[in-house]
Chains A and B, each alone.
Chain A
Amino acid sequence: MAKEKTYVEDIDRSLYDFRNKEGKDTYKLKAGLTREIVEQISDEKNDPEWMRQFRLRSLDIYNKTPMVDWGPAIDGLDMDNIVTYVRDNKKMSANWADVPADIKDTFEKLGIPQAERTSLAGVGAQYDSELVYHNVKDEVAEQGVVYTDIESALHGPYADMIQKHFMKLVPPTDHKFAALHGAVWSGGSFVYVPEGVKVEIPLQSYFRLNSPGAGQFEHTLIIVDKGAYLHFIEGCSAPKYNVANLHAGCVELFVGEDATIRYSTIENWSKNMYNLNTKRALVEKNGKVEWISGSFGSHVSYLYPMSVLNGEGARSEFTSVTFAGHGQNLDTGCKAVHNAPNTSSYVNTRSISKSGGISTFRSSVVINKNAKGSKSSTSCQSLMLDDISRSDTIPAMDVRTSQADVGHEAKIGRISDEAIFYMMSRGISEEDARAMIVTGFASNVGKELPLEYAVEMNNLIQLEMKGAIG
């Protein structure tokens, strides 16, 4: 007789946990963070002088900035052991056939070329520190949409635009790892959607970190002009190593008047990853940013996408699910700053903790004096699946005008015995009932994703709830 299924195991990561050996075609700098290394990266990338100086200034800021006194411990991360730049010797291509076989095989396994053919308007694929593939469909490019790697944009016709916007929303002084990013950033995408253009099919960037002990520091800069629309999807994964890897990317979104951007992320880094990522959007009059976020991987995460609502009537929505399993300490949430009248922010999050995982929801809503008529609503729910896990909620609200309405509600608890009992009375097994409840609990994110990605996310949960209940 089969063993009674009584507990929920960790996510099955075998789909993502394959690795390529570094060979003669791999070029990597020595580990550590010094002025020489930063200059070497700058040389590698043939930076314009302003960028070279920017990197060096960021390094100075990094060295002077203390680590924050809140959040999960990152004692296991030693920058002396992190390689900040790794690349393959082959150049980036717009044709999968030109991508080195082992790298192409990696992205094939992850389903990226298939997704490009069936459901995407363009794809960028980054492997370690550099993009290996970048392409955008002709019909989208013909509308004037620019989707390219950020290094090319630095030297092309958009160089001034990059200089004007690069790390202006997330300055290196923001925090220690923003400064680190400013010093050693490499790879990432630049997107420009011209006025009035609606990109109905999503663009996607996929980041793969293959090298053990390496860091990935891609920069994503997106400008959506007046009245335009874009859905951008970001995916990330890495094989698991027994040394620390670091991801300190940066995303800057500029959302113009009446424009909308939907930014979806399925984060599935391996459990040796320190994910210290920074994402921020500046939203102009009647513009809207929608953050959709699924956090499943990483050993430690600090991730709080921020929406700065700068124009009258600007809006933000943040929908997320965080799943913390064994060995994971995921500190996630969001920030909203209301800087103009009649702005609104809406937050809807779910977090699940199991097998000793720690999940923290951390947020801040700031309504400034000039944001009269603004509204904010936050709902966060946490589910504890066993008695060895932990779940915290730390939401902050700072309201500086009486002409605002702010609401907040949070719940922490376990799966109710009544719900299980009810479902079992309808002929559903206990294990299936638990799986159904957890899937339903996370559906706030699933229903916001394109079908293919919702399926991927649900598969992640189902793998965990079905295959691994033992």
Chain B
Amino acid sequence: MELKINRLPAYTFGWLQMNEAVLEDVSAGRAIEAQVEVPEGLSLTTEERSGLEDVKTGSGEDMDKLVKEAGVSRQVLEVPAGADPQQALRILIPCEEGANAVNSYGAVLGEGSHATVVLAWDGDRQSKGFSAAQMKFVVGKNARLDLVQIVRGGEDYQIISDVGIDCGEGADVHVVHLFLSGKEIYQGLRTNLKGEGSHLLADVAYTVHLDHKLDMNYFADQTGKNTKSEMYLNGVLRDTAKKMFRGSIDFKKGCGGSTGDEKEDVLLIDDGVENKTIPLILCDEEDVEGNHGATIGRLDEEILFYMASRGLSEEQIYSVMADARIEAVVRKIPDDIARKRLHDEMEDELRTCRREERR
């Protein structure tokens, strides 16, 4: 089937080819067995929970169709009102050679509860395959969701990560996204800030290299009063990598007192890279404040001068600054185990790279 995903909520000039991502010849696969660690006292169920089905996601309706066609059951975590499990729900989807996987997850957070959910893709760096996962959340009144997604796919892996979150009154959502490897990565994130005072904070870091491609669609749909969205992206492009970022803040009628802020800072290391950025603010309400900013290009002259005065070559400066961007977001992972695991693995990779460079 043909998938049209990551659509902009308002289209623009067609020749820019930014309105959506089109994936041809995608076949609906089967659910792959993921490594799952469930917080103590809670369990995953495949029983449908009310409200989840209707949650709109960042990748859009075609992802719903793909999940449906694959016949995959959604695995749902239910967090009772007031619960605050100490452990995170950790899901590791293996990037197995030749896989054609479609997985579906969800979580319903009761009033005043808190949950941390970590979804990661990992596996052999040389592997080839396709993996799509959809996650839907309903975050209840005054509940808090910490969602961490880490994508480290194989060099020939195509990954679609699609998320939709419905927020109740006072709900607080913190998303940490790290895109570290994978041939083609598509990320959709739609946060439906329906409840008064609900809040989204998304911290995103990416590094895209070789001829790899990252396509992102972040959408804050603000319908509730006094809602707040913040989306901050930091990234690095190397070699002939391609990146597309669509970021939309949509102030709907009735969301008075709301604010939205999105910023993207992209460091372009090599000359063959392609960077596309389209940050939208759609505003149907007077009493709001929306800001977006983007900085794309090389490092600031002052930073270069300062670091060169400390004895670093230009190449070393760019390398250090690129690593720092990722590390800054890794530090924001609220789950100690996931953070330490990722940190250690990145350190190992860095050591290996440096050994290879010395040779």
By a beta-carbon cutoff of 8 Å, the part of chain A in contact with chain B is 68-70, 335, 362, 364, 366, 369, 372, 382, 384-387, 389-414
Among candidates A386, A400, A403, A408, residue contacting B298 with C-beta atoms closer than 8 Å: A403
Is the pair B298, A411 in contact by a Cβ cutoff of 8 Å? no
Check: B284 CB closer than 8 A to any chain A CB: yes
Is the pair B275, A70 in contact by a Cβ cutoff of 8 Å? no
Q: How far is the CA of A364 from the CA of B14 in the complex (A)?
A: 11
Contacts A399-B296, A406-B295; A369 near B268 (Cβ below 8 A): no
Q: How far is the CA of A405 from the CA of B299 in the complex (A)?
A: 9
CB nearest to B289 among chain A residues = A413
Among candidates A335, A387, A399, residue contacting B275 with C-beta atoms closer than 8 Å: A399
Contacts A69-B11, A399-B275; A411 near B290 (Cβ below 8 A): yes
Q: How far is the CA of A70 from the CA of B19 in the complex (A)?
A: 10
Q: Which residues in B have their C-beta under 8 angstroms from that of A405?
A: 296-298
- Give the distance to chain A from B354, nearest Cβ to Cβ, in Å: 23
Is the pair A397, B13 in contact by a Cβ cutoff of 8 Å? no
Is the pair A394, B12 in contact by a Cβ cutoff of 8 Å? yes
Q: Which residues in B have their C-beta under 8 angstroms from that of A70?
A: 10-14, 19
Is the pair B284, A413 in contact by a Cβ cutoff of 8 Å? no
Is the pair A404, B268 in contact by a Cβ cutoff of 8 Å? yes
* Chain B, 275-313, CB within 8 A of any chain A CB: 275-298
Q: Which residues in A have their C-beta under 8 angstroms from that of B10?
A: 70, 392, 394
Q: How far is the CA of A408 from the CA of B269 in the complex (A)?
A: 20
Q: How far is the CA of A234 from the CA of B13 in the complex (A)?
A: 26
Is the pair B12, A413 in contact by a Cβ cutoff of 8 Å? no
Q: How far is the CA of A389 from the CA of B253 in the complex (A)?
A: 10
Q: How far is the CA of A403 from the CA of B277 in the complex (A)?
A: 17
Is the pair B282, A399 in contact by a Cβ cutoff of 8 Å? no
Is the pair B13, A407 in contact by a Cβ cutoff of 8 Å? no
Q: How far is the CA of A407 from the CA of B298 in the complex (A)?
A: 11
Q: Please give 20 more A-B residue pairs, beta carbons under 8 A apart, in addition to A397-B277, A399-B268.
A: A364-B12, A364-B16, A385-B286, A390-B284, A391-B283, A392-B280, A397-B278, A398-B16, A398-B18, A398-B274, A398-B275, A398-B276, A399-B275, A403-B271, A403-B298, A408-B293, A410-B293, A412-B281, A413-B290, A414-B286
Q: How far is the CA of A342 from the CA of B226 in the complex (A)?
A: 44
Is the pair A414, B276 in contact by a Cβ cutoff of 8 Å? no
Q: Counting chain A CB atoms within 10 Å of each CB, which of B274, B279, B287 scores highest?
A: B279
Is the pair B279, A410 in contact by a Cβ cutoff of 8 Å? yes
Contacts A408-B293, A410-B292; A396 near B283 (Cβ below 8 A): no
Is the pair B292, A396 in contact by a Cβ cutoff of 8 Å? no
- Give the distance to chain B from A6, nearest Cβ to Cβ, in Å: 14
CB nearest to B18 among chain A residues = A396
Is the pair A387, B18 in contact by a Cβ cutoff of 8 Å? no
Check: B178 CB closer than 8 A to any chain A CB: no
Is the pair B11, A408 in contact by a Cβ cutoff of 8 Å? no
Check: B53 CB closer than 8 A to any chain A CB: no
CB nearest to B294 among chain A residues = A408
Is the pair A364, B13 in contact by a Cβ cutoff of 8 Å? yes
CB nearest to A414 among chain B residues = B286
What would 26 A/B residue contacts be, using CB atoms closer than 8 Å?
A: A68-B14, A70-B11, A364-B13, A366-B16, A384-B283, A387-B286, A390-B283, A392-B281, A393-B280, A394-B278, A397-B276, A400-B273, A401-B271, A402-B237, A402-B298, A404-B296, A405-B297, A405-B298, A407-B296, A408-B292, A409-B292, A409-B293, A412-B281, A412-B283, A412-B289, A413-B289
Q: How far is the CA of A393 from the CA of B16 in the complex (A)?
A: 16
Is the pair B279, A408 in contact by a Cβ cutoff of 8 Å? yes
Q: How far is the CA of A1 from the CA of B249 in the complex (A)?
A: 44
Contact code string B201-229 (vs A, CB < 8 Å = 1, else 0) = 00000000000000000000000000000
CB nearest to A402 among chain B residues = B268
Q: Which residues in B have their C-beta under 8 angstroms from that of A393?
A: 280-281, 292
CB nearest to A400 among chain B residues = B274
Q: Which residues in B have their C-beta under 8 angstroms from that of A390?
A: 283-284
Q: Which residues in A have their C-beta under 8 angstroms from that of B48?
A: none
- Give the distance to chain A from B324, nearest Cβ to Cβ, in Å: 18
Query: Closest 6 A-B residue pairs measured CB to CB?
Result: A402-B268, A70-B11, A405-B297, A387-B286, A406-B296, A412-B290
Q: How far is the CA of A440 from the CA of B163 in the complex (A)?
A: 43
Q: Which residues in B have their C-beta under 8 angstroms from that of A410?
A: 279, 281, 290-293
Check: B270 CB closer than 8 A to any chain A CB: yes
Q: How far is the CA of A63 from the CA of B306 in the complex (A)?
A: 60
Q: How far is the CA of A335 from the CA of B166 in the complex (A)?
A: 36
Q: How far is the CA of A413 from the CA of B237 in the complex (A)?
A: 33
- Give the distance to chain B from A328, nearest Cβ to Cβ, in Å: 16
Q: How far is the CA of A176 from the CA of B284 in the complex (A)?
A: 29
- Give the distance to chain B from A138, nearest Cβ to Cβ, in Å: 45
Q: Which residues in B have their C-beta under 8 angstroms from that of A411?
A: 289-291
- Give the distance to chain B from A221, nearest Cβ to Cβ, in Å: 24
CB nearest to A399 among chain B residues = B275
Q: How far is the CA of A408 from the CA of B283 in the complex (A)?
A: 18
- Give the distance to chain A from B322, nearest Cβ to Cβ, in Å: 12
Is the pair B287, A414 in contact by a Cβ cutoff of 8 Å? yes
Q: Which residues in A have their C-beta under 8 angstroms from that of B296?
A: 397, 399, 404-407
Q: Counting chain B CB atoms within 10 Å of each CB, which of A369, A385, A394, A413 scores highest?
A: A394
Q: How far is the CA of A410 from the CA of B292 in the complex (A)?
A: 5
* Chain B, 241-258, CB within 8 A of any chain A CB: 251, 253, 256
Q: How far is the CA of A253 from the CA of B298 in the complex (A)?
A: 32
Q: Which residues in B have their C-beta under 8 angstroms from that of A401?
A: 268, 271, 273
Q: Which residues in B have their C-beta under 8 angstroms from that of A404?
A: 268, 296-298
Q: How far is the CA of A54 from the CA of B280 in the complex (A)?
A: 39
- Give the distance to chain B from A217, nearest Cβ to Cβ, in Å: 23
- Give the distance to chain A from B30, nearest Cβ to Cβ, in Å: 35
Is the pair A399, B286 in contact by a Cβ cutoff of 8 Å? no
Q: Which residues in B have their C-beta under 8 angstroms from that of A335?
A: 13
Among candidates B19, B273, B276, residue contacting A402 with C-beta atoms closer than 8 Å: B273
Q: How far is the CA of A412 from the CA of B250 in the complex (A)?
A: 12
Q: How far is the CA of A103 from the CA of B66 in the complex (A)?
A: 64
CB nearest to B262 among chain A residues = A410
Contact code string B232-245 (vs A, CB < 8 Å = 1, else 0) = 00000100000000
Q: Counting chain A CB atoms within 10 Å of each CB, which of B237, B284, B295 scores highest?
A: B284
Q: How far is the CA of A407 from the CA of B264 in the complex (A)?
A: 10
Q: How far is the CA of A173 from the CA of B87 in the complex (A)?
A: 60
Q: Which residues in A have their C-beta under 8 angstroms from that of B282?
A: 392
Is the pair A396, B278 in contact by a Cβ cutoff of 8 Å? yes
Is the pair B12, A362 in contact by a Cβ cutoff of 8 Å? yes
Q: How far is the CA of A70 from the CA of B291 in the complex (A)?
A: 23
Q: How far is the CA of A228 from the CA of B273 in the complex (A)?
A: 37
CB nearest to B297 among chain A residues = A405
Q: How far is the CA of A414 from the CA of B251 in the complex (A)?
A: 13
- Give the distance to chain B from A219, nearest Cβ to Cβ, in Å: 23
Q: How far is the CA of A393 from the CA of B256 in the complex (A)?
A: 19
Q: How far is the CA of A406 from the CA of B274 in the complex (A)?
A: 13
Q: How far is the CA of A410 from the CA of B293 in the complex (A)?
A: 6
- Give the distance to chain B from A172, nearest Cβ to Cβ, in Å: 16
Q: How far is the CA of A400 from the CA of B295 in the complex (A)?
A: 14
Q: Which residues in B have their C-beta under 8 angstroms from that of A366?
A: 16
Is the pair B16, A413 in contact by a Cβ cutoff of 8 Å? no
Q: How far is the CA of A396 from the CA of B279 in the complex (A)?
A: 7
Is the pair A397, B286 in contact by a Cβ cutoff of 8 Å? no
Among candidates A392, A394, A397, A402, residue contacting B271 with C-beta atoms closer than 8 Å: A402
Q: Which residues in A have their C-beta under 8 angstroms from that of B291?
A: 409-412
